[in-house]
Chain A
Amino acid sequence: MPNDTSNTKNNINTYHRADAPKHPVPLHLQEFSLKLRGKSLFSGLNLNINPGEITTLMGPSGCGKSSLLAAISGTLSSEFFVSGIICLGDFDLTILPPEQRHIGMLFQEDLLFPHMSVGENLSFGIPFSVKGKKARAELINQALEDAGLSGFANRDPATLSGGQRARIAVLRTLLSQPSALLLDEPFSKLDVELRERFRAFVFRHAKAHQLPTLLVTHDPDDAQSTGGRVLKMSDLNN
């Protein structure tokens, strides 16, 4: 879409989640370890990601990158043994259930709910505190317009192109007013041209929302494009 990369300032949301921190805060992991059936995936991880900063974690598939993100978001299966502390600013998230962490996730697949329309998917993300059909619809339309998808609210997600679906998934996450963003190889399924544009779209929004962002990938190209810090998974295992 032509206006994907043009305007960078039109997308600051005009509302705030009641329980969200007043100012953007960093995401902080301290002495973070993950074990599966006695086998250590990594241990003693210390990581600080500032608001608007995009940190990349690189490693081959199957090395526990996705599990790390699931652990941070709180959706990890109980088979895993997690220790360490996750903080947003001064706020300790470690024992909170996922729905109280407000950490946005994006996967390789868009995972749009297939039983909802595009608009319903976005509305699912908007906090309950935004009352009234009109106010919610306004947010949805504003978000769609920003992504160059005006008028898509009533569409069936299954009828959209891969790039369109990916952008809707990003919008859904952003509308939920997350305090941090985790990206689990969200670019790897898109073709090269689309990938670059979509990457720019995601990074632009992450920075505009001042979100501490952690990207895991096995593609050096992805890592380079963030312009931020790049860590290697192999350096974390000790």
Chain B
Amino acid sequence: MRDQAHTKQSLNHGRTTGFLWSDALGWLFSLRSMPVLTLLAFLGPVLAGLISTLLPAFGYLPVIGGEELSFKPWAELFSHPALPQALFNTLTSGLAATVISLILAIGFVSAWQGTKSFQRVRTILAPILAIPHSALAIGLAFLIAPSGWIARLVSPWATGWETPPDVAIIHDPNGLSLILGLVIKETPYLLLMMIAALDQNEANQRLCLARTLGYKPVAAWIKAVLPVIYRQIRLPIFAVLAFSLSVVDVALILGPTAPPTLSILVLRWFYDPDLSYRTLAAAGAVLQLLVVIGSISMWRLGEVVLSNISKQWLVNGRRDLFEGLVSALSKWVMKLIITAFFGSFAVILVWSFTRRWRYPDALPSVWSTQSWGSNLYNLFWSGGTTLAVGLASSVIAIALVVACLENEKRRGKTAGTGALWLLYLPLMIPQVSFLFGVQIVTIRLGIDSSWLSMIWSHLLFVLPYVFLSLSDPYRCQDDRYVGIALSLGASPARAFWRVRLPMLLRPLLFALAVGFAVSVAQYLPTLFAGGGRFSTLTTEAVNMAASGNRRVVGVYALLQALLPLLAFSAALGLPAFIFRNRRSLRGI
């Protein structure tokens, strides 16, 4: 670098040129190795898992005597009577949930950006995101089922029902309740992603400019802002699409059953006592991956077509776009989503303290804490496991992410968009498509059903979200603070611990809470990596959801929802307390 480099070179002169273990070890424990180690810890299991799923899909599974590659599993798969309908269910629910969520999010932002209700909705969104999908799905089921709270509230005076009507609302064959459950959760997510993109793109100026040119709000937003921010929300949209197409826990609680969606069908085959189903399951898991890849490709193609068609339309000068309809509709739907969210939360709370609740009474007639008391032991263990795995995986994720970002800072280089795609990879590859393979690998390594495999498998999903939530604040921090600290004589370590990290306390704690919430919500990784030895609040809640014992399910779902909420409250409250005498960091 500098011309003093020759002094360094002459120092190195006495060394042999061969491989030096001390150099290798030095690199391994240095900051420079962190991005590589992180990617290995992260992509290694995903790739190993994919390969270990791919091989059985072509008949190679030595445990059950399959040692030759063949297409037999595929022939079985395609001749399976449940497949066509399962595939259809998967595609319709996944695509419908994504399209509806996206339209709602766009409609709401375009009609309401910059207004008071926009700000209000923005603050309500955070808790919706914090609560695990499955807890929300359970609450929704308790709400909309024929024997649910809504039916009870309007019966018998409005409906005349004295007993629950015999209609399939939950598990309906068309997957409508599944779509509803997904939309309630994904719309806020897309909304938040859009808001983040808006903040970066001087969207407000664009919007104002379009408004001064006479464009009405919705038209102004869709014509002047959406085309610019779409590139930034594309990855989140793909993540939503992939998730909706391959979701397991929500589909178990709300989705169709005969036949179910593809991911559930695959899961059933994996857990069939007859081991010969394993190759069929593996083939199904690969098909699930192909469905996601195919859908994302189709979506991409749709984008191109749509942007070509709309080129003319963007500049045709029309300055209004169903303004009244969009603003009224989006507002009402958003209210409905928020009501459904709070209703779900309230109904699991009520059920968890219910002793006796006769249909069609609006409220329980006898309350008690019996459901809590009689499950105390199991609650303690599954809650403890949830807490331990959640804390461990999110703390490890924070350490890795901070090391990577600090390495970026010190080397003066920022990871490109390629790295962002790598990060999103585990979020886009269906969980059933590689977790089964991961399980095979952990068995081979002798670490199956251990804390290590549990924490590691959670880390795969925690890490991307922690990175996404921490990278912006970390990269944006003014490096001159650290520079000043160094100029004052502080060592790099001191500058890092005493200046860099304390100033980032708020985003660090927030990222920790995000990671924790993601870990708490994991169903399939716990199932596969825990090998039945571990149960968390989420696996207990989902597994019991079908049991019909709403009191106990309510207890688990409520705790499952409360833990992330508490984590987020702490992440907001702690900095406010610590910095109560530091105005510029107090935040709230």
- A residues whose Cβ falls under 8 Å from a Cβ of B: 17, 70, 73-75, 77-79, 81-84, 94-95, 97-105, 107, 109, 111, 113-115, 117, 124-125, 127, 156-159, 172-173, 176, 178
Q: Which of B495-543 contact A (CB under 8 A)?
A: 495, 498-499, 502-503, 505
B557 nearest CB across to chain A (Å)? 39
6 shortest interchain CB distances as A-B pairs: A75-B483, A158-B583, A98-B486, A158-B584, A77-B412, A78-B412
B282 nearest CB across to chain A (Å)? 47
Expressed in whole angstroms, the Cα–Cα distance for A71 and B162 within the complex equals: 82
Across-interface contacts of A74 in B (CB, < 8 A): 486-487
Across-interface contacts of A111 in B (CB, < 8 A): 478, 480-481, 484
B570 contacts partner chain A, Cβ-Cβ < 8 Å? no
Do residues B582 and A158 form an inter-chain contact, with CB atoms below 8 A? Answer: yes
Given contacts A99-B491, A113-B499, A78 and B584 within 8 Å (CB-CB)? no
Across-interface contacts of A94 in B (CB, < 8 A): 2, 4
Expressed in whole angstroms, the Cα–Cα distance for A215 and B479 within the complex equals: 21
Do residues B484 and A105 form an inter-chain contact, with CB atoms below 8 A? Answer: yes
Expressed in whole angstroms, the Cα–Cα distance for A82 and B4 within the complex equals: 10
Across-interface contacts of B491 in A (CB, < 8 A): 99
B3 contacts partner chain A, Cβ-Cβ < 8 Å? yes
A30 nearest CB across to chain B (Å)? 11
Expressed in whole angstroms, the Cα–Cα distance for A98 and B481 within the complex equals: 13
Across-interface contacts of A81 in B (CB, < 8 A): 1
Across-interface contacts of A82 in B (CB, < 8 A): 1-2
- The main secondary structure of chain B at its interface with chain A is helix
Across-interface contacts of B412 in A (CB, < 8 A): 77-79
Across-interface contacts of B585 in A (CB, < 8 A): 114-115
Out of B1, B8, B498, which one reaches A78, CB within 8 Å? Answer: B1
Do residues A115 and B483 form an inter-chain contact, with CB atoms below 8 A? Answer: no
Across-interface contacts of B481 in A (CB, < 8 A): 111, 113
Do residues B3 and A83 form an inter-chain contact, with CB atoms below 8 A? Answer: yes
CB-defined A-B contacts under 8 Å, sample of 28: A73-B483, A78-B412, A81-B1, A82-B2, A84-B3, A95-B4, A95-B7, A98-B487, A99-B486, A99-B489, A99-B492, A100-B489, A101-B487, A102-B489, A104-B487, A105-B484, A105-B487, A111-B480, A111-B481, A113-B502, A114-B584, A115-B585, A127-B489, A156-B582, A156-B583, A158-B584, A173-B487, A176-B488
Q: Which chain A residue lies CB-closest to B499?
A: A113
A111 nearest CB across to chain B (Å)? 5
- B residues whose Cβ falls under 8 Å from a Cβ of A: 1-4, 7-8, 410-413, 478-481, 483-492, 495, 498-499, 502-503, 505, 579, 581-585
Across-interface contacts of B7 in A (CB, < 8 A): 95
A83 nearest CB across to chain B (Å)? 5
B491 nearest CB across to chain A (Å)? 6
Across-interface contacts of B584 in A (CB, < 8 A): 114, 157-158
Expressed in whole angstroms, the Cα–Cα distance for A97 and B494 within the complex equals: 14
Max chain B C-beta neighbours (<10 A), residue from A102, A124, A159: A124
Expressed in whole angstroms, the Cα–Cα distance for A84 and B2 within the complex equals: 8
B478 nearest CB across to chain A (Å)? 7
Expressed in whole angstroms, the Cα–Cα distance for A125 and B488 within the complex equals: 5
Expressed in whole angstroms, the Cα–Cα distance for A124 and B4 within the complex equals: 31
Besides A99-B490, A99-B495, A113-B503, 12 more A-B contacts (Cβ < 8 Å) are A75-B479, A78-B412, A79-B412, A84-B3, A94-B2, A113-B485, A114-B585, A115-B582, A124-B485, A127-B489, A172-B488, A173-B487
Expressed in whole angstroms, the Cα–Cα distance for A105 and B479 within the complex equals: 13
Q: Which chain A residue lies CB-closest to B493?
A: A99
A226 nearest CB across to chain B (Å)? 21
Max chain A C-beta neighbours (<10 A), residue from B411, B485, B488, B491: B488
Expressed in whole angstroms, the Cα–Cα distance for A23 and B502 within the complex equals: 37
B475 nearest CB across to chain A (Å)? 13
Do residues B489 and A176 form an inter-chain contact, with CB atoms below 8 A? Answer: yes
Expressed in whole angstroms, the Cα–Cα distance for A102 and B7 within the complex equals: 22
Out of B3, B487, B579, which one reaches A115, CB within 8 Å? Answer: B579
Expressed in whole angstroms, the Cα–Cα distance for A75 and B489 within the complex equals: 12
Out of A70, A83, A105, which one reaches B2, CB within 8 Å? Answer: A83
Across-interface contacts of A97 in B (CB, < 8 A): 486, 492
Expressed in whole angstroms, the Cα–Cα distance for A158 and B487 within the complex equals: 22
Across-interface contacts of A99 in B (CB, < 8 A): 486-487, 489-492, 495
Expressed in whole angstroms, the Cα–Cα distance for A74 and B495 within the complex equals: 14
Do residues B505 and A173 form an inter-chain contact, with CB atoms below 8 A? Answer: no
Across-interface contacts of A159 in B (CB, < 8 A): 583
Q: Which chain A residue lies CB-closest to B482?
A: A75
Do residues A115 and B505 form an inter-chain contact, with CB atoms below 8 A? Answer: yes
Do residues A95 and B487 form an inter-chain contact, with CB atoms below 8 A? Answer: no
Out of A75, A84, A113, which one reaches B486, CB within 8 Å? Answer: A75
Do residues B490 and A124 form an inter-chain contact, with CB atoms below 8 A? Answer: yes
Expressed in whole angstroms, the Cα–Cα distance for A99 and B482 within the complex equals: 11
Do residues A114 and B485 form an inter-chain contact, with CB atoms below 8 A? Answer: no
Do residues B487 and A75 form an inter-chain contact, with CB atoms below 8 A? Answer: yes
Across-interface contacts of A100 in B (CB, < 8 A): 489
B227 nearest CB across to chain A (Å)? 31
Expressed in whole angstroms, the Cα–Cα distance for A75 and B492 within the complex equals: 11
Across-interface contacts of B582 in A (CB, < 8 A): 114-115, 156, 158
A128 nearest CB across to chain B (Å)? 8
Q: Which chain B residue lies CB-closest to A95?
A: B4
Given contacts A78-B412, A124-B490, A127-B489, A70 and B483 within 8 Å (CB-CB)? yes
Q: Which chain B residue lies CB-closest to A33?
A: B3
Across-interface contacts of A101 in B (CB, < 8 A): 487
Across-interface contacts of B498 in A (CB, < 8 A): 124
Across-interface contacts of B488 in A (CB, < 8 A): 104, 124-125, 172-173, 176
Across-interface contacts of B579 in A (CB, < 8 A): 115
Q: Which chain A residue lies CB-closest to B481?
A: A111
Across-interface contacts of A83 in B (CB, < 8 A): 2-3
Expressed in whole angstroms, the Cα–Cα distance for A103 and B488 within the complex equals: 8
A17 nearest CB across to chain B (Å)? 8
Given contacts A101-B487, A115-B502, A95 and B2 within 8 Å (CB-CB)? yes
Across-interface contacts of B492 in A (CB, < 8 A): 97, 99
Q: Which chain A residue lies CB-closest to B585?
A: A114
Across-interface contacts of B410 in A (CB, < 8 A): 78
Do residues B486 and A114 form an inter-chain contact, with CB atoms below 8 A? Answer: no
Q: Which chain A residue lies CB-closest to B480?
A: A111
Across-interface contacts of A109 in B (CB, < 8 A): 480
Expressed in whole angstroms, the Cα–Cα distance for A209 and B582 within the complex equals: 32
Across-interface contacts of B2 in A (CB, < 8 A): 82-83, 94-95
Across-interface contacts of A95 in B (CB, < 8 A): 2, 4, 7-8
Across-interface contacts of A105 in B (CB, < 8 A): 483-484, 487
